[in-house]
């Protein structure tokens, strides 16, 4: 091989080595970015869980006197247990015990079949009815002010729920979910969510799913804080609460 041929071959080898070195650097940068992203996600989840524990525990302590008052009122106004415990579906389809102050008469579930024809949920997946006859007098106040949901701070403390996330459905609702609706189960359910602060029960189920998916795709600590801040005026307005 001539000298010119050797120089050409050497130049090609150097070019190939340069390309390989550039690819290695690109892989290293990509690996570093991926590692940084994973650390960020883990830290974000850790901080979110830490805030869930601290804030739910603080809420349970501060609201303890109100809990006692509500317990007495519920016991005095209707027979039955103070708390309503129901199986709900959480993250990745895991069932858990969901706590509420009882706002209905004890035979509410048995009477539900009689009222299915009066379901006012436009999509039919969930059951919603204004002026539901199964609700007790004190229960109407609890629902209007969302005080019936206060025991769910226990669910948040136990790790079944988060302060912010899609509302947990019952198994019968999940059985009717489409593939798109099942995406709501990809994250931990919450006490409040995007559609809760945008109209609550007045929002049709399909729009609820759309808002939940919007939250899941863009969730973060700042968006959670924004939703929590909007929850207070949403509760005070009473819009969509029944």
User: Is residue 190 packed enough to be buried (19+ CB in 10 Å), middle (13-18) or exposed (0-12)?
Assistant: buried
Rg (alpha carbons) of the chain, rounded to whole number:
26
Tell me what pLDDT residue 96 has: 97
Both 111 and 207 in one domain: the answer is: yes
Query: For residue 51, is it within any domain?
Result: no
Question: How many domains are contained in the chain?
Answer: 2
For the chain, report the end-to-end CA distance as a whole number of angstroms.
90
Query: For residue 133, is it within any domain?
Result: yes
Both 84 and 41 in one domain: the answer is: no
Cα–Cα dist 99/151, whole Å: 6
Tell me what pLDDT residue 7 has: 64
Both 78 and 181 in one domain: the answer is: yes
15 is in which domain, residue-wise?
A: 1-45
Distances (CA, A) of 75 to 102, 196, 218: 10, 29, 43
Both 163 and 131 in one domain: the answer is: yes
Tell me what pLDDT residue 180 has: 86
pLDDT digits (tens, 9 = 90+) for 63-116: 999 999 999 999 999 999 999 999 999 999 999 999 999 999 888 777 777 776
Query: For residue 196, is it within any domain?
Result: yes
Instruction: Tell me which DSSP letter residue 181 carries.
Output: G
90, 96 contact by CB (below 8 A): yes
Of 201 and 104, which is predicted with more confidence? 104
Task: Give the chain's mean pLDDT.
Answer: 85
pLDDT digits (tens, 9 = 90+) for 212-239: 999 998 888 889 999 999 998 888 776 6
Tell me what pLDDT residue 30 has: 77
Both 38 and 81 in one domain: the answer is: no
Tell me what pLDDT residue 188 has: 95
pLDDT digits (tens, 9 = 90+) for 160-179: 999 999 999 999 889 988 88
Instruction: Tell me which DSSP letter residue 198 carries.
Output: T
Both 14 and 113 in one domain: the answer is: no
Tell me what pLDDT residue 233 has: 87
What pTM did the predictor assign? 0.78
Please give the structure tokens belonging to residue 227. 């939703």
């Amino acid at each position: 091989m001539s000298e010119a041929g050797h120089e050409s071959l050497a130049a090609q080898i150097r070019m190939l080595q340069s390309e390989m070195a550039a690819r290695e650097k690109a892989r290293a940068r990509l690996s570093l970015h991926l590692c940084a992203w994973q650390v960020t996600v883990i830290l974000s989840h850790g901080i979110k869980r830490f805030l869930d524990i601290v804030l739910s525990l603080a809420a349970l302590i501060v609201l303890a006197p109100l809990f006692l008052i509500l317990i007495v009122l519920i016991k005095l106004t209707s027979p039955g247990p103070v708390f309503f415990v129901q199986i709900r579906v959480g993250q990745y389809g895991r069932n858990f015990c969901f706590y509420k102050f009882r706002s209905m008469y004890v035979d509410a579930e048995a009477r539900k079949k009689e009222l299915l024809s009066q379901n006012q949920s436009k999509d039919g997946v969930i059951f919603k009815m204004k002026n539901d006859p199964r609700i007790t007098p004190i229960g109407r106040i609890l629902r209007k002010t969302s005080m019936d949901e206060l025991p769910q701070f226990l669910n948040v403390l136990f790790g079944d729920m988060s302060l912010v996330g899609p509302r947990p459905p019952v198994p019968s609702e999940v059985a009717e979910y489409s593939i798109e609706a099942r995406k709501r189960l990809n994250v931990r359910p919450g006490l409040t969510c995007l559609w809760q602060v945008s109209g609550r029960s007045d929002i049709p189920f399909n729009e609820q799913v759309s808002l939940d998916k919007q939250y899941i795709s863009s969730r973060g600590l700042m968006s959670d804080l924004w939703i929590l801040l909007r929850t207070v005026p949403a509760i005070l307005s009473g819009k969509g609460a029944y």
